[in-house]
Structure 1
Amino acid sequence: MTKLVSANAGRPLGHAAFKSLAMGGIAALVLAIAAPAAFAQSVPALPEVEGPIGSSADDMQHPSRRGPTLGQDTPQAWPAYGEPEFHNYIEDEFFISGEANGAPYTTRIVVRRPADIDDFSGYASIETLHPAQSAQMWMATRVGGMMNGHAYIEVVNTPGLIGSLQAYNGERYAGLSIEGAVTEEGQTDPAQNEIIAQVAYLMQTANPLGDEWNVEHMVISGASATSRTAMNFMEQENGNAAYQMDDGSSLIDAMYVWDTNGPSQDVLDSVYDVPVIILATQTEWDDGTRTFPADSEDYRLYQVAGMPHLESREMYEAGWNECTLPIDNFMFNAMVFMGLDYMHGWLEEGQEPPMAERIEFEGDAENAAIVLDEHGNAAGGMRSPQVEVPWETFSTPNEGNFVCGLMGTATPLPDDQLAQMYPTPAEYAAQLVAQTSRLIDEGWFPPEYIFEISAEIERFASRGNTND
């Protein structure tokens, strides 16, 4: 694997390298459009903070860092390299209190960050707790994020999820409530956005860990349901401009969400005023959507060929055993981190992310079929090592229960075809390493995830091909 590292000499592989770079800014990348005078802008109120709240065997903190996730059994252990302790990371839970939508609230936030301030990049993803009771952006990008010193802020901003916390540990979370969470049918709960705004402001100006931890780049994030929550915040009345920092700058510096097709072209053009990255999986365009906004100065859409809505490489206990078809084993987390890495470079270094090809369709009509390459994988889009050096065909959805419908499946190519493509496992490994090295050099695969390449080589070798 040394070839993969040496081939990418010069690209930062961790937070130490990032800290050697000059501090950049986002000013040149944000649209220089002043908010109309009619916009009702306000600096969010600072909530009161209690914590960090200790945890013990008799008083456990809700394990949103790893579920519980919809439909799963008790979570199995992550590999050591995926655990916070491996990267000298700390998880702090706080209770915050304030007023939202004219009524009091007390909720919790969780801050995941390096133990040493010298390792903090200044970049933070702020996301709301997913209805599946997990912090999706943290779970998907944590390995690369921890290697680079990024922080993750999880916010609980709905009564339903407070109920989930209380169901897990009723005594610990008994005092949490959101009284202002009332809305007319079909309308977004106004308390949700106000709580997000207050937490974002708190973490940038009066961080409960100390002012040296104040976030420099606040990126609102989410996946699937929480991607919609993030977009609701950006698309509220007056958009992101509804709230501002003390100096009049944006409260939220950028948005990166995945498991969605993102906003429409009209909404993107009229509302969004900061850099936006959308990472869309194959599940998203399998729904019949064929019209997507064009990339622009401050917008990128990455459609990842073969990628399903849900991850299975780590979360193999999440009910996948009920799926009828084989599970895909796609390099999901590496591709999600790729988007985060692009956004960090955009904000910190002023490095515009590359524009990727779009997925190819057999015409412009809704439900037009996806064009397939010679190995049966989707043509075009962002290409992972698995589709550049294929031994399987990736497709969506899987079959079975509701969760399976969000999964993908992978079908091995015929043995005779594989024998021609890769006469030995060593030949497959050589091709995979070479193509991954190229993707890293071109900025299409994160070097932090080269361990996935070793895992893929082992997976191919264990499929029964022993002609080495």
Structure 2
Amino acid sequence: MNTEVLHIEVAAGGAGQPALPAKLQFPMESVGYSAKEFVLSGVAAAYAPPDGTALSENGQWGVTKCSNEAYVTRAVVYRPLDAEAFNGTVIVEWMNVTSGSDSSPVWIYTHNELIREGYVLISLSAQAAGVESTKAMDKKRYARLLHPGDIYSYDIFSQVGRAVRNQAEILLGGLSPKRIMGAGESQSAYRLVTYVNAIHLLSPVYEGYLLQSRPEKGAPLNTRDDVSGSTEVRSDLGVPVLIFQTETDVNAVTRQVDTATYRLWEVAGTAHFDAYGGGLGLMDTGDGEGAVRALQALRNPPDNVFGFIRCDKAINTGPMSFVLNAAVHALNEWIKTGLPPSSVQTLQATDFTLYNPSFVRDEFGNARGGIRTPFVDVPLAALAGTGNTGNQEFCLFFGTTEPFTPAELINLYSTQEGFLAKWNKAVEAAVESGVIRPADAKSLIDAAFSLKVL
């Protein structure tokens, strides 16, 4: 096997489809896309800092290769069926393994934007937990998969990114990529902080990064304690990095000064994981019904995720998916033009307790500051990224929704027409500021018109 050219073949056998515990619940062909799974094999390197060198908090890390091991992993490629619909951008998502198995939250949350704009997204099993759980889910299909350990995950991520360009004929069905960005959510963003700081400058593969819900620290590079403190994104990276933080995720470390290559988006009314990611989004084909369900959930929020993780309070039904769509667009334009999106205000935080920060809140219970949307500026509920509990420890990530009473809504808006006028104005303001996409704005306006508020 060659470390520069991967062996790539279409996955086959077993159940006949990719093993993913949470995936979109409609055929890709119905929205003009395909989903094809590949098995990729090669030899990956591990990296370590030179002896006696600490990995500093500023992220400017120097590392060298220290060992090599063979691997066999899998990736699911989502791409347009019509080659002319491809916009030239490929996103490689480092799949999340917090649950012990692979998930692709960036794809779940942003698939509407990616499909209507013609992106390719590749969901990559970069880590050992994902590979092992995948093998357990379909022993026949994945018998060959092999992961030597997470210290090799960084080079696996690099090699698959290079294959996007160098082996596009098989991996992309002949599409010609113009831009490649790396993306990951939560635990994956934790890994990507380390990738960006330690690996990117060795041999740049990705032209930008979307880090969604990143914690204060970076992940271990080679040993469990080699990244011991808070970790900034290095300032000399040379490519755009957009950090997307919900209320749950807000921390002091990510509040680096905006530069020509760094932007931070903190979004009011959002939680680390919410009703969209936990079920509503899986059925969203982009026909506008997803926005209808999102607004209905503000009035009648669920208390569970995927129907079995139940919490003590109704979970967050905020605007994360809509703003994350805009973040993808903003990063893509930034890569294309070299012009960063405008800086935005941070949330008015008063405390940075891990996954339980505190904020100045308005008279309705919604956080002040941050990226503003009609969900918090023309509210139907108090939305928070904190405050939930339950038998499952994951509930702390799901935030809360407290719908307003009929009397509160009458006091706020007087009439249905009064609500619609304010809602539509707030939607238009969000589009103007670049935090809601025009297509989503239309869906949100149409959904509000169909919703009986008063």
TM-score by length of 2: 0.78
Deviation at 1:341, TM superposition (A): 0.8
Aligned residue in 1 for 2:44: 100
Aligned residue in 2 for 1:29: none
- Retained in 2: the 8 A contact 1:90–1:115? yes
Output the CA distance in 2 between the equivalents of 1:368 and 1:150. Answer: 34
Output the CA distance in 2 between the equivalents of 1:312 and 1:50. Answer: 36
Correspondence 1:312-323 to 2 at 5 A: 312-313=275-276, 315-316=278-279, 317-319=305-307, 322-323=310-311
- Retained in 2: the 8 A contact 1:320–1:327? no
Task: Give the counterpart of 2:5 among 24, 46, 49.
Answer: 46
Distance 1:318 1:371, change over 3 A: same
Aligned residue in 2 for 1:427: 418
Aligned residue in 2 for 1:338: 326
Task: Give the counterpart of 1:215 among 177, 188, 195.
Answer: 177
Aligned residue in 2 for 1:16: none
Distance 1:453 1:423, change over 3 A: same
Aligned residue in 1 for 2:432: 441
For the pair 1:383 / 2:348, whether they are aligned, the reply is: no
Segments of 5+ residues of structure 2 without an aligned counterpart are 46-67, 219-229, 280-304
Partner of 2:362: helix, strand, or coil? Answer: coil
- Retained in 2: the 8 A contact 1:362–1:368? yes
Partner of 2:260: helix, strand, or coil? Answer: coil
Partner of 1:235: helix, strand, or coil? Answer: helix
Aligned residue in 2 for 1:120: 86
Deviation at 1:263, TM superposition (A): 6.9
Distance 1:280 1:226, change over 3 A: same
Query: What does the per-residue CA deviation read over 1:402-438, in whole Å, with 9 as the maximum and x for residues that have no partner?
Result: 2221101111234433212212233212321221022
Output the CA distance in 2 between the equivalents of 1:321 and 1:166. Answer: 24
Output the CA distance in 2 between the equivalents of 1:141 and 1:388. Answer: 23
Output the CA distance in 2 between the equivalents of 1:221 and 1:290. Answer: 19
For the aligned residues, what is the CA RMSD?
Answer: 2.8
Q: Equivalent pairs: percent with the same residue?
A: 23
Aligned residue in 2 for 1:198: 159
Task: Give the counterpart of 1:352 among 340, 346, 358.
Answer: 340
- The AA in structure 1 aligned to 2:122 is I
Aligned residue in 2 for 1:175: 144
Aligned residue in 2 for 1:30: none
Output the CA distance in 2 between the equivalents of 1:272 and 1:210. Answer: 28
Correspondence 1:87-166 to 2 at 5 A: 87-101=31-45, 102-131=68-97, 132=99, 133-166=102-135
Output the CA distance in 2 between the equivalents of 1:309 and 1:320. Answer: 18
- The AA in structure 2 aligned to 1:383 is R
Segments of 5+ residues of structure 1 without an aligned counterpart are 1-42, 70-74, 182-188, 244-249
Output the CA distance in 2 between the equivalents of 1:256 and 1:427. Answer: 38
Partner of 2:107: helix, strand, or coil? Answer: helix
Query: What does the per-residue CA deviation read over 1:254-298, in whole Å, with 9 as the maximum and x for residues that have no partner?
Result: 11111125679974345533110000000012xx64772111111
Distance 1:170 1:321, change over 3 A: closer
Output the CA distance in 2 between the equivalents of 1:103 and 1:330. Answer: 43
Task: Give the counterpart of 1:240 among 200, 203, 206.
Answer: 200
TM-score by length of 1: 0.76
Aligned residue in 1 for 2:223: none
Aligned residue in 2 for 1:25: none
Query: What does the per-residue CA deviation read over 1:124-166, in whole Å, with 9 as the maximum and x for residues that have no partner?
Result: 1111221142111111111111100001012112232112111
Aligned residue in 2 for 1:60: 16
Aligned residue in 2 for 1:268: 233
Larger RCO (CA under 8 A, 6+ residues apart):
1
- Retained in 2: the 8 A contact 1:127–1:230? no
Deviation at 1:227, TM superposition (A): 0.8
Distance 1:453 1:331, change over 3 A: farther
Deviation at 1:447, TM superposition (A): 1.7
- Retained in 2: the 8 A contact 1:95–1:107? yes
Distance 1:210 1:295, change over 3 A: closer
Task: Give the counterpart of 1:293 among 256, 271, 276.
Answer: 256
Output the CA distance in 2 between the equivalents of 1:270 and 1:44. Answer: 29
- The AA in structure 1 aligned to 2:30 is F
Task: Give the counterpart of 2:312 among 320, 324, 335.
Answer: 324
Output the CA distance in 2 between the equivalents of 1:380 and 1:254. Answer: 26
Output the CA distance in 2 between the equivalents of 1:191 and 1:340. Answer: 27
Query: What does the per-residue CA deviation read over 1:171-209, in whole Å, with 9 as the maximum and x for residues that have no partner?
Result: 110011123x2xxxxxxx331111111110010122124
For the pair 1:230 / 2:186, whether they are aligned, the reply is: no
Deviation at 1:214, TM superposition (A): 3.5
Distance 1:418 1:211, change over 3 A: closer
Deviation at 1:44, TM superposition (A): 6.0
Distance 1:290 1:375, change over 3 A: farther
Distance 1:321 1:108, change over 3 A: closer
- The AA in structure 1 aligned to 2:91 is S
Deviation at 1:345, TM superposition (A): 0.9
For the pair 1:278 / 2:243, whether they are aligned, the reply is: yes
